[in-house]
A and B are shown apart, each in its own frame.
Chain A
């Protein structure tokens, strides 16, 4: 065996006493010492470029009790993507643990210790797979070393699997628990000494389990919180209960930026259970994650607070709201459509689009609209904060615990170290819970009740009316086709308010990270391309919604590509492959995108062969080209986002009343290596359903700056009858590329694929979302 392995064995013979880094009740920490020189280096790309970066110290993530129980400390927000299962699975597999003996504990907000915890951008697995495997491999090596010392054998003869160490030559074995105390006396091994398990040694990672396209595999799905969820024991933010707790709801300004002119709370104070009301200052615009302001009603239970709020009489002053008070969705759409007729800021250009358009054999033009939407996670925003002795403690379902901690510190004027944020399960996130304004509100109210926890609950009406809305958008496209129908020129004008308007004076133009979500990164092989971004002002809080600007970009581009195919008289799939052109790996920088989802373009080029493969897979599985009955059609769309690749084919029927019946969805997906295929499938299935809602139902409109929908009676999201009768996810086996995102990339192609299918079924082109009743008229 190699010298380095001998050296490793020898180096670890010397024992080091002392210390336990972190306090655990019964859990023993692995490792006596962590060499700070092994702390990660900040990098330009990927996890290392995120605030707090990555951490692979096994002390931070893995504890082993003397009874053998393994505790995995999960640092990312669990909002349904299954990260508490999938990352724990990665750790357990590399460690050689039995799944049944692994439990998951949630880390509090502390990015200095746990690395980056901002759970958005479909980053959790692609940024944490490697560090967590290293952490687990280091822990395993220490257990192996402990066994090797006990048996006086070389460490490489010790085999780790099924929660024990074995020495095959002599048949000896020791359980994890029996080695835990000895292992923790050892130094954490150097990264260079870690040998990760080979794929053939892995029992969980990359393996299918559970439900696969309608069939149950022989292997049960792993779910860290499954039993708790089905038995009602799982603790979401709303479920945190503390002694002596007060309950609050807030009446917020109906128009973004409005202030309170006067308030009469006399009727409110008569409501049984109501204790008092309290003013929360209106945030100056841009509001960032600060509270919107308003009147908080504090009571002895949630219902009393809600009833008390109904009895408030508030006069709002919209003076400070400026022209937000004049915001009307229909007029805004018309204004953007008008603006889309004129040139705007050029954000990418190659060739001569004007010449191509003027010399076209045929021109195609279309304008697409996608409305505001609210994320509407099933658990409305909620937070509990207790302020005591100059310190604050919060419990909340937040995607970005660091931002929550900073928000509370800011409201209370505390140093960050005096604020603790406990992360609960999230009852859905979808971007809404990246913005911890609700935690700051709770802190604002709690400061008036020293020592008493205050639970601040948003109602559904609050959630829909005061979302950080998905940006409304108009996308205008023009293309020139030659005599064979091939595209020679492509003009795309995109107009949406920018998320940057939340943090700075409204730039009225999309920023690099917004253009980089499927606009500049449009990969078609067309000689002349010009992408423009005319201005679009924001009048409400604009924020991330799952897949963000990929939604309008994919909706417009993938609808338009189909319109071009129709104009050219060509099959859509064949035409799409022709648009993609020859297989090539594109550095997104050459497309005017310097962002690339924060990833290294050498590792994460836009690979048109991967797009081609998902198109081919989805169409093949859907039986593309088959004869369809009257009123029924197949529709295709595909998209690259969050450094992964998705294609969808829908089989759709439109009945005589204009109702859309989705017979089947075939989704092909390539995220490179798959950590937990079972949860990848569930994410793609769920994205498909959510996307159907975007296509068919979901819309928030404004009149005089006020959201016109407030609950699920008017703000429509998919229900069971809207789901495809059959949904099948076809995962591309591609372990060779770098790992891509999973949570978001399933969503962008759904709406255009569905609308392309509607066209195939009916000949009716949808250019304005949602479809709503457009097919019945």
Chain B
């Protein structure tokens, strides 16, 4: 059995050790906010936090998960995540929206560790998250805005 704590809830799952966390979250636990985009850690759609660190769940075997997993579904309860979500809405970042959960998870992970990043630091940190709709300019602005909110709080 694999034991996972996701968004504060513990799960005991009868799955192979090698199953990537992404598929455990999506197909076994049944939470759909974490997306499949590439399966090789190239796009970031599957980004979750493990003990607060943004992690690509599509290449992380469940046996290697040692910390608490947080997904996009829990960001509304996260003070930094809330600010990021709010900035996303104010700037109308999303187009199709498929990648945006992963973008928000990555951005929130960044701001948790670097509350006032320089623009280039944001670009570097977000460069692993693909958006085929091409919303990067608004993502950058939204992260800056959320960072400003964070700094002011």
Chain A contact residues, CB within 8 Å of chain B: 78-82, 210-211, 214, 216, 220-221, 223, 225-236, 238-239, 241, 247, 272-273, 301-303, 306, 376-380, 425-430, 457, 459-461, 678-679, 682-683, 685-690, 711-713, 717-724, 726-727
Contact = CB atoms under 8 A, between A and B. Distances in A.
Nearest to B62: A303
A720 B123 CA distance: 6
7 contacts: A216-B91, A232-B71, A301-B15, A379-B35, A457-B36, A682-B92, A726-B137
A723 B131 CA distance: 11
Contacts of B111: none
Interface of B: 15-16, 19-20, 23, 26-28, 30-40, 42-43, 45, 71-73, 75-76, 85, 88-92, 94-101, 104, 123-124, 126-141
Given A79-B96, A236-B98, A427-B96, A686 B39 contact: no
B42 A689 contact: no
B23 A379 contact: no
A526 B37 CA distance: 48
A223 B89 contact: yes
Contact of A427 (B19, B35, B85, B139): B35
Given A210-B91, A720-B129, A682 B36 contact: no
Contacts of B139: 720
Contacts of B90: 210, 216, 220-221
B23 to A, nearest CB: 4
A627 to B, nearest CB: 26
Contacts of B32: 232, 235, 238-239, 241
Nearest to A719: B127
A425 B97 contact: yes
Closest 3 CB pairs of A and B: A232-B33, A689-B134, A427-B98
Given A232-B32, A720-B139, 17 more contacts: A80-B95, A80-B96, A221-B91, A227-B89, A302-B23, A302-B36, A376-B132, A378-B98, A378-B133, A426-B96, A427-B98, A682-B95, A690-B132, A717-B132, A719-B127, A720-B129, A723-B137
Given A230-B94, A232-B34, A720-B140, A430 B16 contact: no
Contacts of B43: 378, 460, 712
A429 B23 CA distance: 23
Contacts of A301: 15, 19, 23, 27-28
Contact of B101 (A216, A226, A232, A459): A232
Contacts of A688: 134
A308 to B, nearest CB: 12
B42 A682 contact: no
Nearest to A211: B91
Nearest to B73: A232
Nearest to A376: B132
Given A231-B85, A272-B16, A303-B27, A686 B134 contact: yes
A236 B98 CA distance: 8
Nearest to A689: B134
Nearest to A230: B85
Contact of A727 (B26, B31, B130, B137): B137
Contacts of B33: 231-233
A460 B37 contact: yes
Nearest to B102: A378
A272 B28 CA distance: 14
A427 B97 contact: yes
B42 A713 contact: yes
Contact of A678 (B20, B37, B71, B92): B92
A226 B98 CA distance: 11
Nearest to A747: B134
Given A378-B37, A711-B38, A230 B89 contact: yes
Contacts of B85: 230-231
Nearest to A82: B95
B2 to A, nearest CB: 13
A211 B134 contact: no
Contact of B135 (A232, A377, A682): A682
A686 B93 CA distance: 11
A460 B40 CA distance: 9
Contacts of A428: 96, 98, 132-133
A8 B70 CA distance: 60
B23 A686 contact: no
SS class, residues of chain A in contact with chain B = loop
Nearest to B120: A721
A457 B104 CA distance: 24
A231 to B, nearest CB: 6
Contact of A460 (B15, B39, B131, B133): B39
A683 B135 CA distance: 9
A290 to B, nearest CB: 25
B89 A378 contact: no
Contacts of B30: 241
A399 to B, nearest CB: 12
A214 B141 contact: yes
A686 B135 contact: yes
Nearest to B97: A229
Nearest to B104: A230
Contacts of A78: 96
Contacts of A459: 39
A82 B94 CA distance: 9
A429 to B, nearest CB: 8
Which residue, A220, A226, A241, A247, has most C-beta atoms of chain B within 10 A?
Answer: A226
Contact of A230 (B35, B100, B138): B100
A686 B89 contact: no
Contacts of A235: 32
B144 to A, nearest CB: 11
B92 A210 contact: yes
B141 A425 contact: no
Given A230-B89, A231-B85, A232-B73, A685 B138 contact: yes
A211 to B, nearest CB: 5
Contacts of B31: 232
Contacts of A687: 134
Nearest to A746: B134
A686 B95 contact: yes
B38 A223 contact: no
Contacts of B35: 236, 238, 378-379, 427
A428 B98 CA distance: 7
A456 to B, nearest CB: 13
A710 to B, nearest CB: 10
Contact of B95 (A81, A376, A460, A718): A81
Nearest to A245: B27
A77 to B, nearest CB: 10
Contacts of B137: 685, 689, 723-724, 726-727
A171 B21 CA distance: 61
A214 B16 CA distance: 48
A715 to B, nearest CB: 10
Contacts of B96: 78-80, 377-379, 425-429
A720 B106 CA distance: 13
A648 to B, nearest CB: 14
A104 to B, nearest CB: 14
Nearest to B89: A226
A211 B138 contact: yes
B23 A430 contact: no
A18 B30 CA distance: 44
Nearest to A232: B33
A690 to B, nearest CB: 5
B76 A231 contact: yes
A378 B23 contact: no
Contact of A723 (B76, B124, B132, B136): B136
B127 A721 contact: yes
Contact of B132 (A211, A231, A377, A682): A377
A265 B23 CA distance: 23
Which residue, A80, A82, A306, A713, has most C-beta atoms of chain B within 10 A?
Answer: A80
Nearest to A430: B132
